[in-house]
């Protein structure tokens, strides 16, 4: 049995999953399902990247331990994969013990090979990218939070493997795909390759995997993350399983992480004496309209909103159909609705309802028994046989969008065949011929549904169930005549929009828009209970009061504009709610270290207070 091992990148645990993440994972799922249907032994891996500066920082901002932060964030991905009906075989988190062991083992091997050396390095360091950058890079907007650093660190001799990597890429034309990405990597390799700094001193970053040969350092997050691809199949723990699946057939990635996957990773594997993956495939970006999806712009499309509104299958179909191999694609509600209505409602769904309506009307809801051997019928049959091989070839070369177009073209041909043969007329003059036409059309629909099953696993099942053909094979001739039709709902109800009126288009759900903050943003605001212990007027400011508050063990001073609503006496002892992590400011020359919460109606202001019998000060508000 052939094995097929494919991976998605492991996603940053901090991020809220969006359409871009969903795309790679669905693509992997679709390929995995095609290969499983073909009888291959598939191992499909996805997971989360949980170490590094950004995770440590996000956890600090939320006032929790990094591991706790990861545990709280991870379910967002798991829930989405569940909703998208992703059937992955393993889910790896880089904080797992099995991974730590493998990373340390590889580091030790590379070290023992003499491929890691210690050096003092002075340069520009980008906190946002978590690496040293060049002077030129420092001038681009991509890198933020840049500081000059002089540090002793460990370096991996990547340069040693430069020629070997160039040779490997040239000898294995499918190693990096598509072609333009391969050329990009070869272009990069024309310049001398520098060595890779693979350590971070614990004094600066402690959230990572410790170097086995120096406990003062953790390893660079990419050195750790890439190794997940060998941890999961069982490197150094389940030898047989590892040898069965490794090297991976495909690492599916986005174009932004091409260099790490095509240069860092292969040279790391060379140093560790392991075979390189057979293929690295870098897809393009999903844009939001014309621009790159970005959290700061607030145009990141939320896949959950789409699934809720239109169901999971249309979302999977749209993403797979709309992105052309290797190019960027633009997500708009307009193109979503257009694609849905034309391909799914008009072509695919319509073929099913035409066939079932006619069978109900003229054949007592029974599937006829004999196929159509007219010239037209034979064309449908022959194309139906041919398309199976074509689709498989397209899928094997990752051209899923072309495979889908091919299947839809075939469905359109079958719809035309129905129009030409007009079984609704034939049913009155020649019922036997009408039955044959409907049988052939239903068989074509069955084959199309099985071909589309990896992309739309649910609704294709409904069709197969309707035709009593669940579990039937892809080969032409699988439909069994004489069975009763099973009732079904309309498969793809049309989305009704007035074509000329863009205003009427359903609005896409955006993850972070200007007025909406993410849960993690909310978590960054520390709301706490606080007891007012002292209140005084501020000289010269008749609206302000100076409050001394107790937030647990902490004592803070707040300047608040409530003097016209509360007397100093009535405030003492009250349990209020404050934003406890606000940057201190100076108001009227006095330091203010927080903000209290109050509600205003007209001119009246009321403090938010809480029963001091029930809560102590310093408690977190959720
Ligand atoms: N953690 C690293 C990967 C380590 S793999 C050993 C990482 N994570 S990520 O969450 O930032 O990105 C994961 C994947 O999502 C990348 O392949 C990236 O290209 C992809 N995408 C993120 N935004 C995207 C779009 N807008 N469109 C398509 N894919 C995009 O990088």
For every residue of 201-262, DSSP letters joined together read ETTT--SSPEETTEEEEEE-HHHHHHTHHHHTTTTTT-HHHHHHHPSPSEEEEEGGGHHIII
User: Which sign, positive or negative, has the C-alpha torsion 481, 485, 486, 490?
Assistant: positive
Residues 197-222 have pLDDT tens digits of 999 999 989 999 999 999 999 999 99
Distance CA 505, CA 346 (A): 18
Residues 364-407 have pLDDT tens digits of 999 999 999 999 999 999 999 999 999 999 999 999 999 999 99
- Mean pLDDT, residues 325-349: 94
Distance CA 232, CA 17 (A): 22
CB of 497 closer than 8 Å to CB of 471: no
Q: Please determine, for residue 567, whether its predicted confidence score (pLDDT) is greater than 50.
A: yes
Cα dihedral value 354, 355, 361, 365, nearest 10: -140
pLDDT at position 602, please?
65
CB of 574 closer than 8 Å to CB of 607: yes
Q: Please determine, for residue 124, whether its predicted confidence score (pLDDT) is greater than 90.
A: no
Q: What confidence category does residue 614 fall into, taking pLDDT thresholds of 50, 70 and 90? A: confident
Taking the alpha carbons at both ends of the chain, their separation in whole angstroms is 53
pLDDT at position 513, please?
39
Residue 283's DSSP bridge partners are: 254
Q: CB 171: neighbour CB atoms within 10 A?
A: 8
- Mean pLDDT, residues 97-105: 98
- Name which of 466-470, 554-558, 580-584 the model is least confident about: 580-584
- On average, the pLDDT of the chain sits at 92
Give the residue, out of 13, 21, 230, with the most ligand 1 atoms within 8 A of its beta carbon, to mutate for a pocket test.
Answer: 21
CA 379 to each of CA 321, 386, 389, 447: distance values in angstroms, whole numbers, following the listed order: 26, 10, 16, 15
User: Residue 36, CB half-sphere, CA atoms under 13 Å: how many?
Assistant: 17
Q: What confidence category does residue 295 fall into, taking pLDDT thresholds of 50, 70 and 90? A: low
- Name which of 520-529, 559-568, 570-579 the model is least confident about: 520-529
Q: What confidence category does residue 622 fall into, taking pLDDT thresholds of 50, 70 and 90? A: confident
- Mean pLDDT, residues 310-333: 94
Q: Please determine, for residue 297, whether its predicted confidence score (pLDDT) is greater than 70.
A: no
Distance CA 533, CA 565 (A): 18
pLDDT at position 488, please?
86
**Beta strand pairing call for 595-596 and 575-579:** antiparallel
Nearest ligand 1 atom to alpha carbon 256? 19
By percentage, how much of the chain surpasses pLDDT 70? Answer: 95
Beta-strand runs (E) in 284-399:
286-288, 291-292, 329-331
Cα dihedral value 221, 223, 224, 229, nearest 10: 130
If 0-12 CB within 10 Å is exposed, 13-18 middle and 19+ buried, where does residue 173 land?
exposed
Helix, coil or strand: residue 126: strand
Ligand 1, atom 7: closest residue by C-alpha = 11
Q: Please determine, for residue 521, whether its predicted confidence score (pLDDT) is greater than 90.
A: no
CA 288 to each of CA 76, 292, 325, 502, 508: distance values in angstroms, whole numbers, following the listed order: 22, 6, 18, 16, 10
Q: What confidence category does residue 34 fall into, taking pLDDT thresholds of 50, 70 and 90? A: very high
pLDDT at position 301, please?
82
Residues 486-508 have pLDDT tens digits of 988 899 999 987 654 555 555 56
- Mean pLDDT, residues 559-579: 91
Ligand 1 pocket residues where CB is under 6 Å = 9-12, 15, 20-21, 23-24, 49, 225-226, 228, 253-254, 256-257, 285-286, 293
pLDDT at position 452, please?
98
Q: CB 226: neighbour CB atoms within 10 A?
A: 23
Nearest ligand 1 atom to alpha carbon 228? 6
Tokens of 223: 């050195």
Which residue has better confidence, 155 or 603?
Answer: 155
Q: Please determine, for residue 130, whether its predicted confidence score (pLDDT) is greater than 90.
A: no
Residue 217's DSSP bridge partners are: 201
Which residue has better confidence, 147 or 408?
Answer: 408
Which residue has better confidence, 93 or 148?
Answer: 93
> At a CB cut-off of 8 Å and minimum separation 6, what does 154 contact?
116, 117, 118, 119, 197, 198, 199, 211, 214, 217
Ligand 1, atom 17: closest residue by C-alpha = 254
Ligand 1: centre distance to CA 356 (Å): 43
pLDDT at position 500, please?
45
By percentage, how much of the chain surpasses pLDDT 90? Answer: 74
What element of type H or E holds 307? helix 303-310
Ligand 1: centre distance to CA 38 (Å): 29
Ligand 1: centre distance to CA 414 (Å): 39
Q: Please determine, for residue 234, whether its predicted confidence score (pLDDT) is greater than 60.
A: yes
- Name which of 434-448, 456-470, 489-503, 608-622 the model is least confident about: 489-503
pLDDT at position 523, please?
72
């Amino acid at each position: 049995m052939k094995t097929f091992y494919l991976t998605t990148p492991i996603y940053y645990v901090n991020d809220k999953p969006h359409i871009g993440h969903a795309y790679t994972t669905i693509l992997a799922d679709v390929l995995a399902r095609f290969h499983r249907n073909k009888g291959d032994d598939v191992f499909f891996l996805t997971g989360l990247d949980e170490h590094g500066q950004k995770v440590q920082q996000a956890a600090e901002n939320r006032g929790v331990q990094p591991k706790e932060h990861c545990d709280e964030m991870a379910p967002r991905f798991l829930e989405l994969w569940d909703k998208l009906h992703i059937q992955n075989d393993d889910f790896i988190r880089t904080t797992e013990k099995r991974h730590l062991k493998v990373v340390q083992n590889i580091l030790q091997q590379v070290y023992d090979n003499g491929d890691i050396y210690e050096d003092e390095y002075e340069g520009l360091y980008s906190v946002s990218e978590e690496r040293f950058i060049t002077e030129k890079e420092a001038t681009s907007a991509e890198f933020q939070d840049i500081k000059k650093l002089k540090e002793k660190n460990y370096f991996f001799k990547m340069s040693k493997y430069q020629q070997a990597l160039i040779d490997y890429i040239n000898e294995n034309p499918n190693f990096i795909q598509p072609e333009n990405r391969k050329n990009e990597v070869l272009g990069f390799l024309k310049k001398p390759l520098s060595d890779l700094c693979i350590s971070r001193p614990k004094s600066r970053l402690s959230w990572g995997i410790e170097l086995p040969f120096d406990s003062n350092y953790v390893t660079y997050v990419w050195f750790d993350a890439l190794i997940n691809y060998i941890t999961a199949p069982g490197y150094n723990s389940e030898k047989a399983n590892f040898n069965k699946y490794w090297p991976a057939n495909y690492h599916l990635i986005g174009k932004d992480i091409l260099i790490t996957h095509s240069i860092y990773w292969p040279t790391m594997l060379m140093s560790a004496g392991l075979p390189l993956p057979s293929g690295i495939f870098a897809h393009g970006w999903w844009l939001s309209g014309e621009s790159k999806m970005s959290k700061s712009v607030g145009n990141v499309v939320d896949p959950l909103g789409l699934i809720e509104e239109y169901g999971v299958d249309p979302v999977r179909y749209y993403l797979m159909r709309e992105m052309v191999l290797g190019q960027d694609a633009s997500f708009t509600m307009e193109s979503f609705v257009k694609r849905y209505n034309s391909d799914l409602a008009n072509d695919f769904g319509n073929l099913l309802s035409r066939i079932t309506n006619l069978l109900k009307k003229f054949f007592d809801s029974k599937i006829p028994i004999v196929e159509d051997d007219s010239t037209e019928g034979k064309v449908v049959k022959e194309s139906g046989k041919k398309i199976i091989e074509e689709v498989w070839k397209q899928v094997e070369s990752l051209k899923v969008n072309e495979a889908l177009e091919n299947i839809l073209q075939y469905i359109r041909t079958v719809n035309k065949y129905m129009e030409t043969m007009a079984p609704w007329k034939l049913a009155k003059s020649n019922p036997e011929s009408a039955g044959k036409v409907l049988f052939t059309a239903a068989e074509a629909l069955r084959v199309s549904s099985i071909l589309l099953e990896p992309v739309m696993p649910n609704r294709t099942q409904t069709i197969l169930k309707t035709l009593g053909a669940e579990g039937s094979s892809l080969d032409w001739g699988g439909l069994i005549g004489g069975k009763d039709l099973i009732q079904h709902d309309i498969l793809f109800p049309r989305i009704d929009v007035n074509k000329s009126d863009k205003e009427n288009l359903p609005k896409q759900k955006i993850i972070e828009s200007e007025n909406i903050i993410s849960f993690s943003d909310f978590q960054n605001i520390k709301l706490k209970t606080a007891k007012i212990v002292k209140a005084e007027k501020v000289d010269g400011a008749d609206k302000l009061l100076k409050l001394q508050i107790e937030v647990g063990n902490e004592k803070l001073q707040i300047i608040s504009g409530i003097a016209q609503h509360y007397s100093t006496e009535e405030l003492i002892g009250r349990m209020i709610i404050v934003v406890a992590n606000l940057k201190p400011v100076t108001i009227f020359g006095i330091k203010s270290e927080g903000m209290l919460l109050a509600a205003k109606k007209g001119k009246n202001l009321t403090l938010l207070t809480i029963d001091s019998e029930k809560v102590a000060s310093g408690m977190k508000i959720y």
